[in-house]
Structure 1
Amino acid sequence: MVEPIGTRPRDRIAGVSRVATPAAAASVTKQPQAAPTPTVAAQLSASAPVDVERVAKIKEAIAKGTFPLSPSTIADALIAARYEWMSNDKA
């Protein structure tokens, strides 16, 4: 038969005693880390990807006055850049 709840004497829980606080941890000394090996991204970002010969040719053409500047081409590129920028905006 099943005994009803409350008729058995309950097991007593032992009293709680305080434990001393733990001693402070010994100071940790850091070991020197090895120099990190450069990743491909770090190597590529170290210098800008510039075509030095092309830049020299453009500078020379500007100095001579023979570099073709087209205001409509510049305006088209600026407008296209603005539309691309607007498409990435969060509304």
Structure 2
Amino acid sequence: MLHPNPSVSPNSDSAVLLVFHAPTATDETQHQQAQLTDRLQRSPGLTTRIIHIDASQHPAVVLSFGVTHFPTLILVQRGVELVRHEGTYSA
């Protein structure tokens, strides 16, 4: 399911963090994702729109970004991919 951050205008120059995940993600992975996205949303001076993408619900989006591992985080600004991280991470 896509979950955009409604507090950020889609027309702004803010970055967009795409969080691709599989429905079979472990509780630990889901917890890490929640911590990271919460931290980003609370960062002063940082305007990042965060969209969670369930791979089973949006396979065309997953394919269009070439995602093959989960979780995958992709930071995009003005249509340009700035950063890609595949696999687990520390929040």
The TM-score normalised by the length of structure 2 is: 0.22
Larger strand percent:
2
Larger Rg: 1
Larger helix percent:
1
The TM-score normalised by the length of structure 1 is: 0.22
